[in-house]
A and B are shown apart, each in its own frame.
Chain A
């Protein structure tokens, strides 16, 4: 039962343009959502989060949007830079319960 889904395994974007990564979830009890970034041979690192009481959170070039009615989460990166090339995982949790991850989307930023 995949509670958190990232349906696009890969995404290619030109440098300077906007990258949009999407995530869907099925558990309506999830109340905290996060995005992680992973480079090869490293552990994932925290990028940005949002609680269910908000619909948007922004941190520099990164913005996360939450649409609770659609059970949909997205990460916008603008402008995209070559260093943003990585695998991005969305994750969700209910209270202090375990964090559930999606399958990841490999983002490639082309010069």
Chain B
């Protein structure tokens, strides 16, 4: 598609429930990122997929968080047994991902706002 698409745009869930957030990156972009922004905070890196390489999961805050990227395209971020501190805007971004000028220019989606009650 023309841009990065994320769904749902808003999700309200009860503490302890599992949630899935979806990201459709720009066609042809090999790199895909998940970030989150909690209220009043900056962009916190979660996970990074680059082509067929093993993902960089170093930003995932706990083992309740996982992500996968199927077929090098769509990605799903799963949060199990949600907690109130998981409330945030979850942002997905994609890029060309090659080490040349402009390769790390990320295009972001509008985000998925998660509220855990």
Task: Using CB atoms and an 8 Å cutoff, list the residues of chain A in contact with chain B.
Answer: 6, 32, 34, 36, 41-46, 49, 51, 89, 93, 95-104
Contacts and interface: CB of A to CB of B under 8 A. Distances in A.
Interface of B: 4, 31, 33, 35, 41-43, 45, 48, 50, 56, 59, 91, 93, 97-99, 101-111
Contact of A49 (B31, B42, B45, B102): B102
B101 A43 contact: no
Given A93-B104, A96-B99, A98-B56, A43 B93 contact: yes
Q: Is the interface of A mostly helix, strand, loop or mixed?
A: loop
Residue among B59, B105, B106, B108 facing the most chain A CB atoms (10 A cut-off)? B106
Contact of A42 (B104, B106, B110): B110
Given A100-B45, A101-B35, A95 B99 contact: yes
B2 to A, nearest CB: 14
Contact of B33 (A32, A36, A41, A99): A99
Residue among B35, B59, B104 facing the most chain A CB atoms (10 A cut-off)? B104
